[in-house]
Amino acid sequence: MPTPLRCESKLFEKDLSSQVIIVTGANSGIGLETSSRLVKQNATVILACRNVEKGEAAAKEVGGVFLAPMDLASLQSVRDFVKTFLEKYDRLDILVNNAGIMACPYGTTKDGFETQIGCNHLGHFLLQQLLTPLLLKTADETGKPSRFISLSSCAAAAMTMGTDSVGVVPKIDFDDLNFEKRDYSPGLAYGQSKLANYLHALEASSRYPADKLISVSCHPGWVRSNLDVHVFKAKVGDGMIGRTLASIARTLFTYKGDMLEVEDGCQASMYCILSDDLESGKFYSQVSTVYVDVPSRMGGFPLTLPNENATSENAKKLWELSEKLVGV
């Protein structure tokens, strides 16, 4: 296993006083770790979480702010969250679209979208659209670009393991985004949603000037968290034995170095938040043995996503479709 990529220590010495940062999915995993680190650097961190109890507990734990629940499976919930935020804050320096679900059974959001494309992409797309005017306004007032960070995954490219679509190169099925005409595949749906996260940031980089908004995507690595619960459930079951086997497997993968602890899993996000050398439109990847493409396993800040479907044409097409679907 390659050595995980890490930020230079000087980046964690930056004083983020006065900066306002929103992190979605911030009550656990790398979202919680990212929020904790940012608070320690004096940022005002808004934890955007679906569950009120968990969101409030996480905010108390790290010293962040929980304003209101935000359920990415409901466009109205996203709109309500943004309304509450804009009533209290007139500044937003960084938006980190961190939340995600992985390889879950078929389901639909409250708006009728397949769950993974709905939560991982469309809910986040609406959030970015509604908050971009404030990101741009903040850039004008501070004299430095705001940032939009979209957490993608190595699953935006072909993977060697982990789902029911091993080795398949993800694509956006523009004719059947919600799996209404084809058999549902948790792995294909996840790969499609993670490619969408990459394309979202790529197109944003072409629509907003980099001196006003830097838009990037990143892969945090295969991180030990609750994200992969459905993958293990499908392979070993959900009973006591299955949960025990899943726990043992995670421990073994971590011991081997394939799976990362959250301290390393947040490095790509933190680099995108803190680095002065960030390039809008680029993809920043932690190391990962799960890439089929061998050179990509070493990661890169930045790295070219090894997917022939990760094109500017597809990014533009997805953006225009997403605008219609979320009603902006």
Distances in Å between the alpha carbon of 311 and those of 12, 171, 261, 304, 305?
A: 33, 10, 32, 11, 10
pLDDT at 82 over 90: yes
CA–CA gap between residue 22 and residue 175 (Å, rounded): 33
Question: Using one digit for the tens of pLDDT, what is the confidence trace for 11-49?
Answer: 999 999 999 999 999 999 999 999 999 999 999 999 999
> Which among 89, 106, 190, 198 is annotated as catalytic?
190
Q: Share the mean pLDDT of the chain.
A: 92
What the block records as the tokens of 5 is: 């990529």
pLDDT at 56 over 80: yes
Half-sphere CA count of 275, side-chain side, radius 13 A: 20
pLDDT at 79 over 90: yes
Report the pLDDT value the prediction gives residue 132, as an integer from 0 to 100.
98
Host H or E run for residue 151 = strand 146-151
Q: Active-site residue 190, yes or no?
A: yes
Q: Does the predicted model carry a pTM greater than 0.95?
A: no
Banded model confidence at residue 84, pLDDT cuts 50, 70, 90: very high
Report the pLDDT value the prediction gives residue 246, as an integer from 0 to 100.
54
pLDDT at 250 over 70: no
CA-closest candidate to residue 193, choices 214, 170, 209: 170
